Amino acid sequence: MRFVLRRLGFYLLAFWVSVTLNFLLPRFMPGDPVSRMFARSQSRMTPEQITQLQKLFGLDDRPVWQQYVDYLGNVVTGEMGVSISRFPTPVVEVIAGQIGWTILLGGTALVIAVLLGNLLGILAAWRRGGALDSFLPPVLVFVGSFPYFWLAMGALYLFGVSLGWFPLRHAFSAGSSPAWSGDFVADAALHLVLPAVTIVVVSVGGWMLAMRNTMIATNAEDYIVMAEAKGLRPGRIMFRYAARNAMLPAVTSFGMSLGFVVGGALLTEVVFAYPGVGYQLLAAVQGLDYPLMQGIFLTITAAVLLVNFLVDIVYVRLDPRVRAS
């Protein structure tokens, strides 16, 4: 319990530091939202409209510390204000409209990559020097080091345009609406395949290598030799003795990655026109939409810290050594 409380205190501190950074960083960027909007409209807006827009958006010209105090209050109450680049939609609504797709895409891709990567890592390490171990790691690292944009475009052209197996864009067919029907779920799943698979392909190599390396270290431990000497079945040793211990670093990275999933997958969203938070964040940064930027950063920060906290707790379950210390 003391361990959990101490961790909780640490996370509160980390949260404060990151929300403060969220507040400060956007304000260091040059320009202001309205002149960004004006510049982007390239002569379709008149200069007279600018002051009016500044008034409309209720842009702050109060001292920064005062804005900061208000901001901290709003963070606590979850009040994120109104998006500027999406005016007059509230930030909460902008994020809520996208985050489901982001979690669906990022979560699916991450879970598949982790399961597949770890399983391959375990097997490769178990039969060290075997076909799997000598062939897969270089190939996966090679594929993973391709620029993602290129790989995704290639996959889109090959499987989407040339072969026509998968839809080219979006999370479901245009003209349909999300519903709990078999047709819709099948449609959404089909749209998910290419974006998710491309992410899995570039990320699985890292998971596999990490798992393989810790697994090799674990295989050399005395208790493995002991288990073998006692005549336990190899499968049982592999999964219950070696993998279970080698899994710990993977759990940590899984937690980290899970938290970052809510940040969206910008390039995937751009290539496959998949709805999500990543493009919103890019648009917010380009438009200097402080409220939306802060809202998204806050969501990411909160998710990363929350998931890490959960991982810490899971660790207590998984690793008795943490409990003892």
Partner 1 sequence: MMMTRTRRGRHVGRALAVAVAGALALTACGSGGSGDGSGGADAAGAPLTIPREDMGTFVRNFNPFSPNVAPMTQQAVYEPMFVYNPADGSTTPWLATEWSASDDGTALTFSLREGVRWSDGEPLVAQDVVTTFELQKELLGGYEYLETVEAVDEGTVTFHLNRTYAPALYEIGQQIIIPDHVWSQVDDPSKETNENPVGTGPYTEVLSFESQSFDLGPNPNYWQPEKQKIPAIRMLAFAGNDGANLAAANGEVDWAPQFMPNIEQAFVAKDPEHNHYWFPPTGAMINWHLNTTKPPFDDVDVRKALSMAIDREQIVDVAMQGYTHPADCTGLSGAYDAWRDEDLAGSCTWTERDVDAANALLDEAGYPRGADGTRTHPDGSPLTLTISVGSTSSDWLSVAEIISQNLAEVGVAASVDAPDWSAVVASYEDGSFDTGIVWSNNAPTPYQFFRGVMSTATVKPVGEKTFENYHRFGDEDADALLDEFAGTNDEDAQHAIVRELQAEFDAEAPVIPLFPGPEWGAYTDVRFTGWPSEENPYATLNTRAPTTVLVLTTLEPVKG
Q: Does residue 133 interact with partner 1 by CB under 8 A?
A: no
Q: Does residue 174 interact with partner 1 by CB under 8 A?
A: yes
How near is the Cβ of 13 to partner 1 at its closest, in Å?
A: 29
Nearer to partner 1, 101 or 315 (CB): 101
Write out the DSSP string of 23-54: HHHHHTSSS-HHHHHHHHHTTSS-THHHHHHH
| CA proximity to 98, closest of 280, 257, 270, 268 | 280
* Cis ω before 26 (30° cut-off from 0): no
Task: Give 58's contacts (C-beta < 8 A, 6+ positions apart).
Answer: none
Q: Does residue 213 interact with partner 1 by CB under 8 A?
A: no
- How many residues can be counted in the chain? 325
Q: Does residue 169 interact with partner 1 by CB under 8 A?
A: yes
Q: Does residue 148 interact with partner 1 by CB under 8 A?
A: no
Nearer to partner 1, 302 or 322 (CB): 302
Query: Restricting to residues 9-28, which ones interact with partner 1 according to CB under 8 A?
Result: none
Nearer to partner 1, 30 or 129 (CB): 30
Determine the Cα–Cα distance for residues 311 and 325; give it in Å rounded to an integer. 17
Total residues interacting with partner 1, rule: CB under 8 A? 76
Tokens (6 digits) for 273: 């026109």
Q: Does residue 216 interact with partner 1 by CB under 8 A?
A: no
Query: Restricting to residues 261-280, which ones interact with partner 1 according to CB under 8 A?
Result: 269-273, 275-276, 279-280
Q: Does residue 306 interact with partner 1 by CB under 8 A?
A: no
Site pattern 90..129 for partner 1 (x: CB under 8 A): ----x-xxxxxx-xx--xx--x---x--------------
CA dist 27 → 66, 76, 121, 244, 293 (Å): 14, 21, 44, 46, 11
Determine the Cα–Cα distance for residues 236 and 318; give it in Å rounded to an integer. 18
Selected range binding partner 1 among 120-128, 135-143, 207-215, 282-290, rule: CB under 8 A? 282-290
Other residues' Cβ atoms within 10 Å of the Cβ of residue 198: 26
| The only residue of 180, 222, 231, 320 in contact with partner 1, by rule CB under 8 A | 180
| The only residue of 109, 208, 242, 288 in contact with partner 1, by rule CB under 8 A | 288
| The only residue of 14, 72, 116, 153 in contact with partner 1, by rule CB under 8 A | 153
Tokens (6 digits) for 53: 């827009």
Q: For the range 51-57, what are the long-range contacts, defined as Cβ-Cβ under 8 Å and sequence gap of 24 or more?
A: 56/87, 57/33, 57/82, 57/84, 57/87
**Cβ pair 70, 95 in contact under 8 A:** no
Q: Does residue 154 interact with partner 1 by CB under 8 A?
A: no
Write out the DSSP string of 95-131: HHHHHHHHHHHHHHHHHHHHHHHHHHHHHHHHTTTSH
Q: Does residue 31 interact with partner 1 by CB under 8 A?
A: yes
Nearer to partner 1, 164 or 320 (CB): 164
DSSP lists the bridge partners of residue 82 as 90
| The only residue of 3, 15, 146, 184 in contact with partner 1, by rule CB under 8 A | 184
How near is the Cβ of 47 to partner 1 at its closest, in Å?
A: 4
Query: Restricting to residues 228-267, which ones interact with partner 1 according to CB under 8 A?
Result: 233, 235-236, 239-240
Nearer to partner 1, 19 or 194 (CB): 194
Query: Restricting to residues 57-86, which ones interact with partner 1 according to CB under 8 A?
Result: 82, 85-86
How near is the Cβ of 145 to partner 1 at its closest, in Å?
A: 22
